[in-house]
Structure 1
């Protein structure tokens, strides 16, 4: 359970980031020189239903 840093309300987790007008999302990588190297995974988003604060996080921190 994530709590909002601004107001302390429980956030809605496991939301996704999508690029508007495209069917794909965002992938995070630890190596900017390789196209598919060092993939960390897809970022997750938590949204506060009270104030609208958005928090981006990684579920699998073992890949860091």
Structure 2
């Protein structure tokens, strides 16, 4: 359970980031020179239902190391 950093309310988790008008989202990468190399994973989004604060996070942190 994530809490909003602004108002302390419980956030709605497991939402996604998508680009408007397209069916694909965002993938985080550790190497900007490779097209598919160094992928860290897809970010998740948590949204506060009270104030609208948006928090982007990774669930699987193993690929960061």
TM-score normalised according to structure 1 size: 0.98
Q: Which runs of 5+ in 1 are unaligned?
A: none
Give the SS at the match of 2:62. helix
Q: Distance in 1 between matches of 2:14 and 2:2?
A: 11
TM-score normalised according to structure 2 size: 0.97
Q: Which runs of 5+ in 2 are unaligned?
A: none
Q: Distance in 2 between matches of 1:8 and 1:62?
A: 28
Q: Distance in 1 between matches of 2:11 and 2:57?
A: 12
Q: After TM superposition, which residue ranges in structure 1, 4 or more long, deviate above 3 angstroms? A: none
Q: Compute the RMSD of aligned alpha carbons.
A: 0.4
